Amino acid sequence: MSAKSDVNGLVVNTKTIAKMFNMTERRVRQLVEEGVISRVAHGRFDLIDTVSKYINFLKLSSEGMDENDVTESLEYEKWLHEKAKREKAEIELAHLKNEMHRSEDVEKVLNHMIMAFRSKMLSLPTKLANMLVNKSDPKLIEALIERDIHEALQELSEYDPSMFIEATDDDADDEVEEDDDGSQTHTDSV
């Protein structure tokens, strides 16, 4: 009968890492200095993270990369990570400044605009038929049709960033209420 233990989140000391990797404690500290592995505290290592990083280091080393190349590769990985964090922060900042909108908000506003445009376009034949029934001048007919088409197109050209903010605010007004039986009900505030 064997005892099983969960190693997720297990923190070990330098001596344990040195024994696992069959190296001196000094070499473990060198690997930390080189950025190959990292500590969670002074002389303490997350077991899973450390083993994973060391295996990656060995893979890169076995691919013919010398220690400098491996270190450069690790620095590149760190640079990529920092770049991704910076891009994420820039996106969040743009969203906070209302320079960028969530795709759900854009979809909601554009659907509303397109449905209004569609409605106007579909009502044109009926509206124009009644207006043009007694008209015989082609130039006048053309001008009336063009006027109504431009009126319908105006709906699409009226971009206003505040429409997206209002869409976000409308979503924030949606609430989830808990019933007496403990179940949750989604309601829209009016």
Q: Which residue has the higher pLDDT, 99 or 40?
A: 40
Q: What are phi and psi of 116, to 5 degrees?
A: -65, -40
Q: What is the pLDDT of residues 103-153, one digit of tens each?
A: 888 888 888 888 888 888 898 888 888 888 888 888 998 998 999 889 888
Confidence check: pLDDT of 158 > 80: no
Nearest Cα residue to 21 out of 61, 74, 69: 61
**pLDDT for residue 189:** 42
Residue 56 has a pLDDT of 85
Strand (E) or helix (H) holding 184: strand 184-188
Which domains are delineated in the chain?
A: 11-94 (1.10.1660), 103-175 (no CATH)
Of 71, 31, 74, 75, which is closest to residue 51 (Cα–Cα)? 31
| 76-104 b/e (C-beta count within 10 Å ≥ 16 → b) | eeeeeeeeeeeeeeeeeeeeeeeeebeee
Q: How confident is the model at residue 1 (pLDDT cuts 50, 70, 90)?
A: very low
Terminal-to-terminal C-alpha distance of the chain: 64
pLDDT per residue as tens digits for the range 76-86: 778 788 889 99
Per cent of the chain over pLDDT 70 is: 76
Distance CA 30, CA 23 (A): 11
> pLDDT by residue (tens digit) across 165-188?
666 666 555 544 545 555 555 444
